Amino acid sequence: MSKLFKVWPKKPRNTNSVIISPAMEVIVTTKSHTGDPFYNGAVEVKEAYMRLYGVDLKKGCYTKGDFEVQVLG
Domains of the chain: total: 1
User: Cβ(54)–Cβ(44) under 8 Å?
Assistant: no
Residue 35, pLDDT score? 82
Q: Tell me the pLDDT tens digit for each residue of 6-63.
A: 999 999 999 999 999 999 999 999 877 778 899 888 999 999 999 999 999 999 999 9
H, E, C per residue of the chain: CCCEEEEEECCCEEECCEEECCCCCEEEECCCCCCCCCCCCCHHHHHHHHHHHCCCCCCCCCCHHHEEEEECC
What's the mean pLDDT in 59-68? 94
What is the pTM assigned to this prediction? 0.89
Say if residue 1's pLDDT is above 80.
no
